[in-house]
Chains A and B, each alone.
Chain A
């Protein structure tokens, strides 16, 4: 019998130590000297997986089912081998999009859907609250065991105490305080909590050491090693049954479903997502964790069976609850300090879980449940509030308290109803419902919001009906006839023998039916109809994350034109003006800029701000908020991306419908190259570019409109579809051409273009150019003639550029030739100091007014008969720039109705000019 005061003081001292470690961890993090930035701490923090369920419950389960406790740890071991693909991808995506919870992740994957995020949060809260209750129950039970031993313990009798006399209540409140203090110290885009992680890692060491200490004591202190334990146990027929065939777990279906469940749990439990993904400092730490984490699980499980067998042999059958063997065995041998160590180990297992789980749930509740609703309630005018950071922290803190109070309430009401292991498995099965949407979303682009929503919903309902409600019935909250006779007395609907399926344990039964419903709806409704543009582009960003995002960066393309000040104010509203200032300063540093006043409001910044806000309120809301500031988008590159994505998608679908593959491929390639060039364009920061965007919008408008028409109207007949596809192809070619020209011009004007001057022979250049155009002229019935003098001096120039000018003038001439006897003449005259090249046509001509403007950017000469401009309007500007750069001149003579002649000169070198003068 131990003094109650000692145990209470010890527990509070232990939690106090956690406070100290967390405080130290936070201080070190603030000072930039992280203590958690190594793979070992990362692995230890992952071990938050091992809760009091492991610490006490494994022994209890082993005592009834032998080796049957193991699948819960073998599953994560197997999953660890897949982390290389699965978890790494989750981490990379989450870092790039500043995802801070599993709800956020799923919502973001399926087009930033509020509804989906809310549903995931609700499932998580309903599924996890009992699990938190389980931890509180374990703390309470271990308290009373320590206090009342050797009086046989009716576990959890504390649940019947009024809560003010119940130590568990105070522990729960202390944990709430801890979580609030270190979990919501400030809002931060990364949502990382270094101090907290340090404390969790410490707890993992404590529980491992404590458990192994008890194991060693039992195995070698009370017995003579493993063989002795088993020898003695096999003497008793009941115990021998545990050793053969894995005891009651001879049922391999149960074994397999528990393995699968725990495989999923290790990546889908909110607390695991929190430590493995959100708190991850460096994705390389994952490497070592792949084998270190299974090793931890291995170590903490070695002594489970010896302790269980030892307890069963040591105590008369039925006198001591097997869940308490870890405590009662040392107590019975008068090893008080060892018992206290075990008690602290159990406490650490429970508190670690409660802390991390609570913080993960509170982030979800705030970001995916409360904030979207508050932001929607316009009368609150939240979108106009200057500083929302206080509100956000308040919501998080309230959520933490509410989650813990819910857990405590559940413990108080249901603590007696079910054994520890059952509650844990109910939670595992709940979070397993995230698996299709989550894992499907990582690897399958076809999953849609509708599919995810209905899949999750269906799986959740089956879980509710076949697992949670029956547990209520077993607790006496529902009439037991619900179980025995089914709802409304319908036999086929018996919750744990759905449609007459019996012979499975309740967990396997629920897992089977819920996964059928979940995966069925997810896949079925995803295939029901095409993903929308947003879904499609998010799917691309997630599934192809390794292609889009380099390690450690989060680049996405979005050119918006909000001012820097607007963005900073916006950010300040969510994380507080002060931190927003710091954040902008950090951004400036990362961009290699001196101060924040020099920051350019470009795509990178907008994305940066969006992701910072996403950390505070979730990605779906963040997008809405940033969009509210970025009103004007001269060239929204992500819009362009989305359009291009959608266009390629429309093309891909149509390709399956008809075999016009060559043309379509060409269009897709055009779009791809347009996309690449656009990114290049984005880098050339130039005023000029903003004037270009208007020109880009025209082809984009057609591409987008027809892509959407093709997407939305699958019933179009083949002829019409081919026509619309043709337009998309043509317009994407036009877009590409335009972008290339813009780039070209921008380069020439900025002096960034490469010039390769060499001595060139104009005769050869002109002959090549005329040859290149002769086919087009033949098709249009235009006579093309080249008149060259016998002797042509060579000039110094860039051959490709000169060729570009000549081709440009020729295609211009061709475009303006509309007569039946059209004729184009290219001639050269040698002047005193220059060659003069003339390109003459007898087409419609250019009016004197137009002659003045054709060399301005994007001024096109309209064909008066149709009002339709021809060409992009940049060819002449580029040609003039090239000629000017080469030291010559480009001009036009024209008589409307009779034709135009474009002239350009290329200077001769001195000696050539002199030779010519002789």
Chain B
């Protein structure tokens, strides 16, 4: 588990990315009344970003480094 410290660094970077995505001011960009595929943009944005973060986490964790 102590493995390559790279894994830990990647996760921290992902944490920072998440902090950025789920906060003002990025959130405010999607706060209009626009809807995409019938779904309000803010709702779609948060869930998609969330899913991407989780997918990246899975990728980082499950990836076998060499």
CB of B11 within 8 A of CB of A290, answer: yes
Given contact pairs A227-B37, A234-B35, A288 touches B42 in the complex (Cβ within 8 A)? no
> Please, which residues of chain A bring their CB within 8 A of the CB of B8?
84-85
CB of B33 within 8 A of CB of A81, answer: no
Query: In the bound complex, what is the Cα–Cα distance between A88 and B7 (angstroms)?
Result: 13
CB of A81 within 8 A of CB of B61, answer: no
Name the one of A79, A302, A546 contacting B47, with C-beta atoms under 8 angstroms: A302
CB of B39 within 8 A of CB of A226, answer: yes
Asked if A70 lies at the interface with its beta carbon under 8 angstroms from chain B, I say yes
Instruction: Name the CB-closest residue of A to B37.
Output: A227
Given contact pairs A230-B35, A230-B38, A82 touches B15 in the complex (Cβ within 8 A)? yes
CB of B43 within 8 A of CB of A291, answer: no
Asked if A259 lies at the interface with its beta carbon under 8 angstroms from chain B, I say yes
> Please, which residues of chain B bring their CB within 8 A of the CB of A291?
54, 57-58, 61-62
Query: In the bound complex, what is the Cα–Cα distance between A80 and B54 (angstroms)?
Result: 10
> Please, which residues of chain A bring their CB within 8 A of the CB of B38?
226-228, 230-231
CB of A305 within 8 A of CB of B43, answer: yes
CB of A256 within 8 A of CB of B24, answer: yes
Min CB distance, A293 to chain B, in Å? 9
> Please, which residues of chain B bring their CB within 8 A of the CB of A563?
none
CB of A243 within 8 A of CB of B33, answer: yes
Proximity bits, A246-266, B CB within 8 Å = 1, else 0: 100010100110010000000
> Please, which residues of chain A bring their CB within 8 A of the CB of B7?
84
Query: In the bound complex, what is the Cα–Cα distance between A231 and B33 (angstroms)?
Result: 12
Query: In the bound complex, what is the Cα–Cα distance between A243 and B37 (angstroms)?
Result: 14
Q: Is the interface of A mostly helix, strand, loop or mixed?
A: helix
Q: Flag the segment in A279-287, A473-481, A845-853 that touches B.
A: A279-287
Proximity bits, B18-53, A CB within 8 Å = 1, else 0: 110011100110011101011110110011001101
CB of A259 within 8 A of CB of B22, answer: yes
Min CB distance, A264 to chain B, in Å? 14
> Please, which residues of chain B bring their CB within 8 A of the CB of A290?
11, 57, 61
13 contacts between A and B (CB under 8 A): A74-B22, A80-B57, A81-B15, A81-B57, A82-B12, A227-B37, A234-B33, A234-B35, A255-B24, A256-B24, A290-B11, A298-B54, A551-B1
> Please, which residues of chain B bring their CB within 8 A of the CB of A230?
35, 38-40, 43
CB of A286 within 8 A of CB of B1, answer: yes
Query: In the bound complex, what is the Cα–Cα distance between A82 and B10 (angstroms)?
Result: 10
Min CB distance, A63 to chain B, in Å? 14
Interface size for B (C-beta < 8 A) is 35
Q: Which A residues, 73 to 124, have Cβ-Cβ distances below 8 Å to chain B?
A: 74, 77-82, 84-85, 88
Instruction: Name the CB-closest residue of B to A75.
Output: B22
Instruction: Name the CB-closest residue of A to B31.
Output: A245
Asked if A295 lies at the interface with its beta carbon under 8 angstroms from chain B, I say yes
> Please, which residues of chain A bring their CB within 8 A of the CB of B27?
246, 252, 255
Besides the contacts A81-B12, A230-B35, A298-B47, what 18 more A-B pairs have beta carbons closer than 8 Å? A74-B46, A78-B19, A82-B12, A227-B38, A228-B38, A230-B40, A234-B35, A243-B33, A245-B31, A250-B31, A255-B27, A259-B22, A259-B23, A283-B1, A290-B57, A291-B62, A295-B54, A551-B1
Min CB distance, A570 to chain B, in Å? 34
> Please, which residues of chain A bring their CB within 8 A of the CB of B31?
244-246, 250
Q: Which B residues form the contact surface with A (CB < 8 A)?
A: 1-2, 7-8, 11-12, 14-15, 18-19, 22-24, 27-28, 31-33, 35, 37-40, 42-43, 46-47, 50-51, 53-54, 57-58, 61-62
Query: In the bound complex, what is the Cα–Cα distance between A256 and B21 (angstroms)?
Result: 12
Query: In the bound complex, what is the Cα–Cα distance between A243 and B33 (angstroms)?
Result: 7
> Please, which residues of chain A bring their CB within 8 A of the CB of B54?
77, 291, 294-295, 298
Asked if A67 lies at the interface with its beta carbon under 8 angstroms from chain B, I say yes
Query: In the bound complex, what is the Cα–Cα distance between A291 and B43 (angstroms)?
Result: 21
Given contact pairs A82-B12, A243-B43, A288 touches B18 in the complex (Cβ within 8 A)? no
Given contact pairs A77-B53, A255-B27, A294-B54, A546 touches B2 in the complex (Cβ within 8 A)? yes
Asked if A65 lies at the interface with its beta carbon under 8 angstroms from chain B, I say no
> Please, which residues of chain B bring their CB within 8 A of the CB of A551?
1-2
Query: In the bound complex, what is the Cα–Cα distance between A259 and B51 (angstroms)?
Result: 17
CB of B46 within 8 A of CB of A67, answer: yes
Query: In the bound complex, what is the Cα–Cα distance between A305 and B44 (angstroms)?
Result: 12
> Please, which residues of chain A bring their CB within 8 A of the CB of B40?
230, 234, 243-244
Min CB distance, B37 to chain A, in Å? 6
Which of B22, B46, B54, B61 has the largest count of A CB atoms less than 10 A from its CB? B54
Min CB distance, A407 to chain B, in Å? 32
Instruction: Name the CB-closest residue of A to B28.
Output: A252
Asked if A240 lies at the interface with its beta carbon under 8 angstroms from chain B, I say yes
Query: In the bound complex, what is the Cα–Cα distance between A698 and B57 (angstroms)?
Result: 56
Query: In the bound complex, what is the Cα–Cα distance between A77 and B15 (angstroms)?
Result: 9
CB of A284 within 8 A of CB of B43, answer: no
Query: In the bound complex, what is the Cα–Cα distance between A298 and B1 (angstroms)?
Result: 26
> Please, which residues of chain A bring their CB within 8 A of the CB of B33?
234, 240, 243-244
Instruction: Name the CB-closest residue of A to B53.
Output: A77
Query: In the bound complex, what is the Cα–Cα distance between A250 and B37 (angstroms)?
Result: 23
> Please, which residues of chain A bring their CB within 8 A of the CB of B50?
74, 77, 294, 298
Instruction: Name the CB-closest residue of B to A85.
Output: B8
> Please, which residues of chain B bring their CB within 8 A of the CB of A70?
46
Query: In the bound complex, what is the Cα–Cα distance between A302 and B2 (angstroms)?
Result: 34
Q: Which A residues, 707 to 760, have Cβ-Cβ distances below 8 Å to chain B?
A: none
Instruction: Name the CB-closest residue of A to B32.
Output: A244
> Please, which residues of chain B bring their CB within 8 A of the CB of A243?
33, 35, 40, 42-43
Min CB distance, B14 to chain A, in Å? 5
Min CB distance, A74 to chain B, in Å? 5
Query: In the bound complex, what is the Cα–Cα distance between A476 and B27 (angstroms)?
Result: 38
CB of B1 within 8 A of CB of A88, answer: yes
Instruction: Name the CB-closest residue of A to B7.
Output: A84
Q: Which A residues, 547 to 597, have Cβ-Cβ distances below 8 Å to chain B?
A: 551
Name the one of A84, A250, A283 contacting B11, with C-beta atoms under 8 angstroms: A84
Min CB distance, A242 to chain B, in Å? 9
Proximity bits, A266-306, B CB within 8 Å = 1, else 0: 00000000000000000110111011001100100010010
Query: In the bound complex, what is the Cα–Cα distance between A9 and B39 (angstroms)?
Result: 41
Given contact pairs A226-B38, A243-B43, A244-B32, A85 touches B57 in the complex (Cβ within 8 A)? no
CB of A81 within 8 A of CB of B47, answer: no
Name the one of A67, A226, A294, A546 contacting B42, with C-beta atoms under 8 angstroms: A67
> Please, which residues of chain B bring their CB within 8 A of the CB of A78?
15, 18-19, 22
Which of A77, A82, A84 has the largest count of B CB atoms less than 10 A from its CB? A84
Which of A67, A88, A240 has the largest count of B CB atoms less than 10 A from its CB? A67
Instruction: Name the CB-closest residue of B to A252.
Output: B24
> Please, which residues of chain B bring their CB within 8 A of the CB of A77?
18, 50, 53-54
> Please, which residues of chain A bring their CB within 8 A of the CB of B18?
74, 77-78, 81
Query: In the bound complex, what is the Cα–Cα distance between A71 and B62 (angstroms)?
Result: 26
Instruction: Name the CB-closest residue of B to A234.
Output: B35
> Please, which residues of chain A bring their CB within 8 A of the CB of B51?
298
> Please, which residues of chain B bring their CB within 8 A of the CB of A244?
31-33, 40, 42
Instruction: Name the CB-closest residue of A to B40.
Output: A243
> Please, which residues of chain B bring their CB within 8 A of the CB of A228?
38
Which 9 A-B pairs have CB atoms at the shortest separation, nearest pair first? Answer: A227-B38, A252-B24, A291-B57, A81-B15, A291-B58, A243-B40, A245-B31, A78-B18, A81-B11
Query: In the bound complex, what is the Cα–Cα distance between A191 and B11 (angstroms)?
Result: 31
Min CB distance, B54 to chain A, in Å? 5
Query: In the bound complex, what is the Cα–Cα distance between A275 and B54 (angstroms)?
Result: 21
CB of A82 within 8 A of CB of B39, answer: no
> Please, which residues of chain B bring their CB within 8 A of the CB of A283?
1
Instruction: Name the CB-closest residue of A to B59.
Output: A291
CB of A294 within 8 A of CB of B53, answer: yes
Query: In the bound complex, what is the Cα–Cα distance between A636 and B12 (angstroms)?
Result: 41
> Please, which residues of chain A bring their CB within 8 A of the CB of B61?
287-288, 290-291
Query: In the bound complex, what is the Cα–Cα distance between A287 and B7 (angstroms)?
Result: 11
Instruction: Name the CB-closest residue of B to A231.
Output: B38
Query: In the bound complex, what is the Cα–Cα distance between A613 and B12 (angstroms)?
Result: 37
> Please, which residues of chain A bring their CB within 8 A of the CB of B14?
81
Min CB distance, A54 to chain B, in Å? 16
Query: In the bound complex, what is the Cα–Cα distance between A283 and B51 (angstroms)?
Result: 25
Query: In the bound complex, what is the Cα–Cα distance between A81 and B59 (angstroms)?
Result: 12
